[in-house]
């Protein structure tokens, strides 16, 4: 049976523990390709049985979350909002706290305090209690279990004292209400902060939400871009967002592609050129034919890639996840031991024993560990995407740590890839017009950048036309052809014979016919890139199938000392493997011809435009041609990993210090709740610093 991809919008998940709960439940049901993004409120999975989906939705909602049709149209009810719950609780909690300073004796009355605390406790039971019970059912108890137990213990203790009229030492209603109110405040800040971490994806989604002018029978109708189908004709005017991917049928324009590449300079587009949905037409008017719509568009693929990347866990997160999974039971055990030791060993009495135990429960914070990695990854990947660098997963960020070697393909990476025909040298009595005709006929059948450049430049030069019967390409070698008279031709980077100053050799029936010299200029900024890498302690390596003389010239100009020239694709693989044995290796190439070598490296980087092939071929895609984007990728990865380590250190250190302090009675439950509520905010705030943090490589 065919696997069906199911995408659900799920609200109510507020941290990584929530995502783990849903993930485990779906795993138990045998589902495949599971992706749970708590920040993006999205759940994806594959199933061969479509009839099981309603039952799965029911099970997700049974965990306490809500499956909705459309996130953009979804509006939380007033009483469901964390903001509303906090304000409501704060109104009743304020007089409970103020009774200690205000001279209003009626506030000290137990029944008045019960009346003020009861509404807050009910909200706490509905908000934390429901979440706590469902998390226990799923086998992944979350932070709400600790809050619910702590606030309930304080409330019941106070209620018993009130019913039995045991006096003021049994009145801790303000502790119960304050715990709930402060944690709700922390949830509020956490919710708003997490929303900011996913802003990059949301910004890209906005580019999809545009109207289109579709031309039907000569008439223009305005429709939502989602309604455009492949083959539709669309009119785009100055200032419009291009609604879908397409090819220009009529007109010319300047297009701002900065939302994809980070490059602010507009790109000039002519008839037959391709345009990408979501980019902005700065000037001109064009008619395009839609080619890729919906989930097949470049923008949709990039959004999906980013969502999956943000959900991919780097290895460093595994420790945090393991600790978080056993954290809540461990804290409950510590709280119980604290109560027993204080009461029986240190004779602290029931009141002190209970307060110490409650303080332990409410000060501990497993969410900080759960949020430490994903929030940093989301911000880091988002900042990279806004600068034209697509990183496939948080695991890639850790994979480039301590990089020792960066291996460069030459053509189109360190050089422009735009080839200028410098000279054609013929042998024997072969006329140059004949050689041009053979070259043009053979290269017209290839999509290689060199072939396209040669064909374009030979069009304007005199040549003898040649009709070919068959043409085949030998990857990494060149082109073979046969004409209608049965003559056999080979055009490629031959390693023997001829002048070494020429890049390509043309053979007819195994006899050298001509040689072609082509010029491929070094990219601006290439020398600066190599110098910066050396400053960072990284060894640059040149790996190319081009002639040794040309590779040596480029390497000498740029300051590269490790050179591997005239290598076939299988030889490139072996060389990449050798460097991997010596240290972390990043390979950067064009994303198409170098796909095997890119896959072999620790991290493959595609130096390409926003094509579908590029999106699929490497773990990192540089959407603009500026070589500095590679340095930016290395630096943003370094700073993101540093932020993750800082977050995990804070999360662990906070709990290691705070729990014993609370257990020894040096911190009241109210102050413990206040501290816990803001521990998550500290972690998320540190992650958000990545948005504005100065990220620059060392000066070469």
The answer, yes or no, to whether residue 160 has pLDDT greater than 80, is yes
Answer whether residue 409 is part of any domain: no
User: Which range has the worst mean pLDDT, 39-43, 49-53, 287-291, 510-514?
Assistant: 39-43
Mean pLDDT to the nearest integer, 150-158: 87
Question: At 247, is the pLDDT very low, low, confident or very high (cuts 50, 70, 90)?
Answer: very high
User: Which range has the worst mean pLDDT, 246-260, 374-388, 492-506?
Assistant: 492-506
pLDDT of residue 496: 58
Question: At 534, is the pLDDT very low, low, confident or very high (cuts 50, 70, 90)?
Answer: very high
> Does 680 qualify as catalytic in the annotation?
no
Domain match, 374 and 308 both: yes
Q: Per residue in 38-93, pLDDT tens?
A: 777 888 888 888 888 899 998 888 777 888 876 665 677 777 788 899 999 999 98
CB atoms within 10 A of CB 111: 9
pLDDT of residue 235: 93
The answer, yes or no, to whether residue 318 has pLDDT greater than 60, is yes
Beta carbons of 366 and 327 less than 8 angstroms apart: yes
pLDDT of residue 610: 42
Please give the residue that has the higher pLDDT: either 427 or 316. 427
Beta carbons of 243 and 276 less than 8 angstroms apart: no
Beta carbons of 466 and 483 less than 8 angstroms apart: yes
Answer whether residue 582 is part of any domain: no
pLDDT of residue 607: 76
Mean pLDDT to the nearest integer, 209-238: 88
Please give the residue that has the higher pLDDT: either 191 or 515. 515
Q: Per residue in 638-666, pLDDT tens?
A: 999 999 899 889 888 888 888 899 888 88
pLDDT of residue 288: 92
Domain match, 80 and 152 both: yes
Gap between the Cα atoms of 414 and 310, Å rounded: 30
What is the torsional sign of CA 421, 423, 427, 432?
A: positive
Instruction: Collect all residues with Cβ–Cβ distance below 8 Å to 28 and sequence separation of at least 6.
Output: none
Domain match, 24 and 111 both: no
pLDDT of residue 593: 61
Strands of 511-522's sheet in order across: 415-426, 511-522, 504-508, 488-492, 478-483, 468-474
Domain that holds residue 476: 416-521
For the chain, give the percent of residues with pLDDT over 90.
18
Domain match, 608 and 679 both: yes
pLDDT of residue 161: 82
Q: Determine the longest span between alpha carbons in the chain, in angstroms.
A: 118
Of the residues 475, 494, 521, the one at which a domain ends: 521
Domain match, 126 and 163 both: yes
CATH of the domain at 493: 3.40.1110.10
Strands 562-564 and 539-543, sheet pairing? parallel
Domain match, 141 and 159 both: yes
pLDDT of residue 560: 94
Closest CA to 646 of 393, 403, 368: 368
Mean pLDDT to the nearest integer, 191-209: 70
Beta carbons of 327 and 637 less than 8 angstroms apart: no
Strands 584-589 and 603-607, sheet pairing? parallel
pLDDT of residue 540: 95
Answer whether residue 429 is part of any domain: yes
CATH of the domain at 46: 3.30.70.100
Of the residues 71, 105, 125, the one at which a domain ends: 71
Beta carbons of 378 and 39 less than 8 angstroms apart: yes
Active-site choice (409, 590, 594, 680): 409
Give SS3 for 210. coil
Q: Which two tokens stand for residue 190?
A: 């956490």
Domain match, 190 and 270 both: no
Number of domains in the chain: 4
Residues in the chain: 700
13-48: burial string, b at 16+ Cβ within 10 Å, e else: bbbbbbbbbbbbbbeeeebeebbbbbbbbbbbbebe
Beta carbons of 385 and 631 less than 8 angstroms apart: no
Beta carbons of 625 and 631 less than 8 angstroms apart: no
Question: At 541, is the pLDDT very low, low, confident or very high (cuts 50, 70, 90)?
Answer: very high
Beta carbons of 379 and 386 less than 8 angstroms apart: no
Mean pLDDT to the nearest integer, 497-503: 68
Instruction: Collect all residues with Cβ–Cβ distance below 8 Å to 218 and sequence separation of at least 6.
Output: none
pLDDT of residue 604: 87
The answer, yes or no, to whether residue 393 has pLDDT greater than 80, is no
514 φ, ψ (degrees, to nearest 5): -165, 160
Strands 233-236 and 211-216, sheet pairing? antiparallel
Output the CA–CA distances (angstroms, integers) from residue 377 to 257, 260, 389, 601, 679, in the order listed. Answer: 25, 19, 14, 22, 18
Gap between the Cα atoms of 432 and 337, Å rounded: 93
User: Which range has the worst mean pLDDT, 111-120, 196-205, 282-291?
Assistant: 196-205
Winning range, highest mean pLDDT, from 32-46, 111-125, 368-382, 494-508: 111-125
The answer, yes or no, to whether residue 358 has pLDDT greater than 60, is yes
Gap between the Cα atoms of 328 and 340, Å rounded: 19
Of the residues 71, 95, 117, the one at which a domain ends: 71
Mean pLDDT to the nearest integer, 254-260: 80
Q: Which two tokens stand for residue 466?
A: 């040649």
pLDDT of residue 495: 57
Answer whether residue 498 is part of any domain: yes
pLDDT of residue 74: 61
Mean pLDDT to the nearest integer, 354-373: 81
What is the torsional sign of CA 419, 425, 431, 435?
A: negative
Domain match, 365 and 396 both: yes
Domain match, 248 and 369 both: no
pLDDT of residue 124: 92
Question: At 481, is the pLDDT very low, low, confident or very high (cuts 50, 70, 90)?
Answer: very high
Gap between the Cα atoms of 38 and 186, Å rounded: 17
Question: At 616, is the pLDDT very low, low, confident or very high (cuts 50, 70, 90)?
Answer: low
Question: At 170, is the pLDDT very low, low, confident or very high (cuts 50, 70, 90)?
Answer: low
Please give the residue that has the higher pLDDT: either 694 or 407. 407
220 φ, ψ (degrees, to nearest 5): -100, 125
Domain match, 265 and 388 both: no
Answer whether residue 596 is part of any domain: no
CATH of the domain at 255: 2.70.150.10
Answer whether residue 558 is part of any domain: no
Answer whether residue 80 is part of any domain: yes
Beta carbons of 364 and 659 less than 8 angstroms apart: yes
Q: Per residue in 90-116, pLDDT tens?
A: 999 888 877 655 666 667 788 888 999
Mean pLDDT of the chain: 83
Domain match, 362 and 428 both: no
Closest CA to 131 of 176, 183, 83: 183
Domain match, 236 and 327 both: no
Q: Which residues does residue 481 pair with via DSSP β-bridges, in sequence order?
A: 471, 489
Helices (H), 139-271: 143-163, 173-197, 199-208, 258-261
Q: Which two tokens stand for residue 624?
A: 């603009």
The answer, yes or no, to whether residue 189 has pLDDT greater than 80, is no
The answer, yes or no, to whether residue 338 has pLDDT greater than 90, is yes
408 φ, ψ (degrees, to nearest 5): -110, 130
Query: How much is the pTM?
Result: 0.71
Question: At 133, is the pLDDT very low, low, confident or very high (cuts 50, 70, 90)?
Answer: confident
Name the region of 282 (left: φ>0; alpha: ψ -120 to 50; beta: rest): alpha
The answer, yes or no, to whether residue 303 has pLDDT greater than 50, is yes
For the chain, give the percent of residues with pLDDT over 70.
87
Answer whether residue 328 is part of any domain: yes
């Amino acid at each position: 049976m065919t696997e069906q991809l199911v995408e659900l919008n799920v609200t109510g998940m507020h941290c990584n523990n929530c995502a783990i709960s849903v993930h485990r439940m779906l795993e138990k049901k045998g589902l495949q390709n599971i992706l749970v993004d708590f920040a993006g409120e999205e759940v994806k999975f594959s199933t061969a049985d479509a009839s099981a989906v309603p039952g799965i939705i029911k099970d997700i909602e049974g965990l306490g979350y809500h499956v909705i049709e459309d996130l953009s149209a979804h509006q939380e009810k007033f009483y469901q909002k964390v903001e509303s719950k906090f304000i409501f609780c704060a109104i009743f909690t304020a007089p409970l706290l103020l009774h200690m300073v205000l001279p209003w004796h009626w506030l000290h009355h137990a029944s008045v305090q019960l009346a003020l605390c009861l509404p807050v406790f009910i909200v706490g039971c509905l908000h934390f209690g429901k979440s706590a019970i469902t998390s226990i059912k799923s086998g992944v108890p979350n932070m709400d279990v600790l809050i619910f137990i702590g606030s309930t213990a304080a409330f019941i203790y106070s209620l018993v004292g009130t019913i039995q009229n045991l006096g003021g030492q049994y009145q801790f209603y303000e502790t119960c209400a304050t715990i709930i109110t402060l944690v709700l405040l922390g949830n509020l800040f956490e919710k708003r902060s997490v929303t900011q971490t996913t802003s990059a994806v949301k910004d890209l989604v906005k580019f999809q939400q545009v109207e289109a002018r579709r031309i039907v029978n000569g008439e223009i109708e305005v429709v939502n871009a989602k309604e455009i189908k492949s083959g539709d004709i669309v009119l785009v005017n100055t200032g419009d967002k291009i609604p879908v991917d397409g090819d220009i049928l009529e007109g010319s324009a300047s297009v701002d592609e900065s939302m994809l590449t980070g490059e602010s300079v507009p790109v000039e587009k002519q008839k037959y050129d391709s345009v990408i949905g979501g980019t902005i037409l700065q000037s001109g008017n064009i008619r395009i034919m839609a080619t890729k719509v919906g989930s097949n568009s470049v923008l949709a693929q990039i959004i999906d890639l980013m969502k999956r990347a943000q959900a991919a866990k780097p290895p460093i997160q595994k420790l945090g996840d393991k600790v978080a999974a056993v954290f809540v039971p461990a804290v409950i055990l510590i709280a119980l031991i604290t109560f027993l030791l204080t009461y029986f060993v240190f004779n602290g009495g029931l009141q002190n024993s209970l307060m110490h135990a409650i303080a332990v429960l409410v000060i501990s914070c497993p969410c900080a560990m759960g949020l430490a990695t994903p929030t940093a990854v989301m911000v880091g990947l988002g900042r990279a995407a806004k600068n034209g660098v697509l990183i496939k997963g948080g695991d890639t960020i850790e994979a480039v740590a301590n990089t020792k070697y960066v291996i460069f393909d030459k053509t189109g990476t360190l050089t422009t890839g735009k080839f200028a025909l410098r000279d054609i040298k013929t042998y024997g009595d072969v006329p140059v017009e004949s050689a041009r005709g053979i070259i043009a006929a053979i290269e017209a059948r290839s999509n290689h950048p060199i072939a396209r450049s040669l064909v374009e430049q030979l069009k304007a030069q005199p040549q003898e036309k040649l009709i070919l019967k068959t043409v085949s390409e030998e990857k990494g070698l060149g082109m073979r052809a046969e004409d209608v008279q049965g003559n056999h031709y080979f055009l490629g980077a031959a390693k023997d014979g001829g002048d070494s100053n020429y890049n390509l050799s043309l053979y007819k029936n195994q006899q050298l016919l001509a040689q072609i010299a082509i010029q491929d200029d070094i990219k601006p900024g290439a020398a600066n890139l190599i110098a910066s890498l050396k400053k960072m302690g990284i060894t640059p390596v040149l790996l190319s199938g081009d002639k040794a003389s040309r590779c040596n010239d480029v390497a000498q100009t740029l300051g590269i000392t490790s050179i591997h020239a005239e290598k076939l694709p299988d030889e490139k693989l072996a060389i990449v493997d050798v460097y991997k044995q010596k240290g972390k290796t990043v390979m950067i190439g064009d994303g198409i011809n170098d796909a095997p070598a890119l896959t072999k490296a620790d991290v493959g980087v595609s130096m390409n435009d926003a094509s579908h092939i590029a999106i699929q071929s490497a773990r990192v895609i540089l959407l603009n041609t500026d070589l500095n984007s590679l340095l930016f990728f290395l630096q943003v990865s370094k700073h993101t990993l540093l932020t993750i380590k800082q977050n995990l250190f804070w999360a662990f250190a906070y709990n290691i210090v705070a729990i014993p302090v609370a257990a020894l009675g040096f911190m009241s439950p109210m102050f413990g709740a206040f501290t816990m509520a803001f521990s998550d905010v500290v972690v998320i705030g540190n992650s958000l610093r990545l948005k504005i943090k100065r990220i620059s490589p060392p000066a070469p």
